[in-house]
Amino acid sequence: MKVGMFNSLRGGAGRFAASVAKYNGDIEFIQFDCPPTLENVDKLRGCEGFLFSPFKNDGDAFWKKVSEAGVKYVVTCSTGYDHFNLEAMKKYGLKAANVPSYSPNAISEHTIMLLLALLRKLRKQFANTARYDMSLDGLMGSEVRNQVIGIVGTGKIGCTTVKILTGFGPKKIYAYSHHENAKVKGLVEYISLDELYKKCDVIIFHCAYNAQNYHMVNADSIAKMKTSVLLINVARGPLFDTQAVLDGLNSGKLGGVAMDVIEGEEILRGRPQGQNDLPILDELMKHDNFTFTMHTAFYTDEAEQNMSDATLENFNEYRTMGCCKNELVK
């Protein structure tokens, strides 16, 4: 099976070398040195598979052209698949799969790092140290054990974060999710989202992104939260209305925000070092109680290998059976 991929994928075909080797030449990656735009889709001709990483596309027309190029199977190596248009893919006979889990610990540990960074004012500490300002002014932190923490989404990642948090002994952990998870029974109390907003000092977002929760953090929801609440988003950028978050920081309503993802982040990829094409990020970064990491929560050696192996297994199942256990379009 030949699998086409574009240069929007971090690390290119090389990152899959060890995983590809397990299939004795039955799967071959063909890399194109250009982005996966509508005008470049024809390059996929001759490829049965398409490895598509998060990237903006032209909707229905894009997937129609992918199908016309002869592609049958589209796989993402991520858990999130909001860059897929499942309705259009089904319409044009494309099957699709994701990697539903690769290392919950990677993202959960990153989440805890961001939590501690906010509580201990790490950005300000680093900035002060860089200019040899050793005063303690404005650096008094808070302890996790004194926080009421809310978790939005208790899937594999949310559950892992809950279990790590219990070691810090916070006052209380509340959770909101469409489905209660038995694995954290006794560790969290499930409440409504509005209640969680009202009660929590820290709110961590681990939920999947879909049309229903677009901008779930907005001016109205922020108004329901405690003054000085800390927000952490390691899920998907469009969960947050970025302007509302900036307004909340400007007004002091938000005590701090940590984001590993931001709406529109795809425009930042592949740009020259020092170039920022997302002006609102510049405004956010003016606040020393705002911490940003560039979608790296997942990025550990363990997660990378698991992700690569699962991606190749998805393609192999399609190659040998025409279906896949992680299929999104059936």
Q: Which residues form the catalytic set?
A: 236, 265, 295
**Residue carrying the six token digits 């027309």:** 61
Is the separation of the CB atoms in 34 and 40 below 8 Å? yes
Task: Give the pair of three-digit tokens for residue 223.
Answer: 């108004």
Contacts of 182 (CB under 8 A, 6+ apart): none
**DSSP three-state, residue 182:** helix
114-136 burial, b at 16+ Cβ within 10 Å, e below that, comes to bbebbbebbbebeebeeeeeeee
Cα-based torsion angle of the residue sequence 79, 84, 86, 89 in order, rounded to the nearest 10 degrees:
-130
What whole-number distance in Å separates Cα of residue 221 and Cα of residue 236? Answer: 17
HEC string of 127-179 equals HHHHCCCCCCCCCCCCCHHHCEEEEECCCHHHHHHHHHHHCCCCCEEEEECCC
What whole-number distance in Å separates Cα of residue 318 and Cα of residue 72? Answer: 9
